[in-house]
Structure 1
């Protein structure tokens, strides 16, 4: 049964409690990672990005350019760090570029 709050509470706290109770965080992480990729990579990379999927803590990015894939593979650690900083917590631990 859902926990009831007595008195006044911040809407952010109530939403966090709701998300934890209903196990919605993994789905929200998938959406947040896609948005973070789009914001951080810019139009140049986004034009060559076909699909982005988060499975567990691994981010799978499907690219249409083999040259771009090779270039991004050299900066995987930096991309992981940038995405996690954007999300303000450690969501992505590995990136697979396809």
Structure 2
């Protein structure tokens, strides 16, 4: 556990310090990517999405429709850009549709 500071800190600073000291950022990024995918893609794509997994800087998305997979592969770079903008930082560099 981190040392106590006598200075007053905001809650956001304390949460950030806690996340950094306990190495939780990768898990939070994984959850945030799943939420961003659901919001950006909408119900139509979410109904065919079976699994989403973030490993390092690669997002793996498993789809149950081969037609949808092919359609989304055409806008691969645009999807990466939209998701990174929604997350507020560059988390995803590669998108793999399965």
TM-score (norm 2): 0.96
Separation in 2, partners of 1:56, 1:25:
11
Q: Deviations over 1:12-55 (max 9, x none)?
A: 11111110100000011110000000000000000000000001
Hey, what does 1:28 align to over in structure 2?
Answer: 28
Q: Which residue of 1 aligns with 2:12?
A: 12
Q: Deviation digits for residues 38-78 of structure 1, max 9, x if unmatched?
A: 00000000000000000111000000000100000011111
Structure 1 stretches of 5 or more lacking a match?
Answer: none
RMSD: 0.9
Residues 1:57 and 2:57 are matched in the alignment = yes
3-state secondary structure, aligned to 1:2? coil
Counterpart-to-counterpart distance in 2, 1:3 and 1:77: 43
Q: How far apart are the structure 1 equivalents of 2:31 and 2:94?
A: 17
Aligned to 2:73: 73
Query: How many residues are aligned here?
Result: 98
- Structure 2 unmatched runs, 5+: none
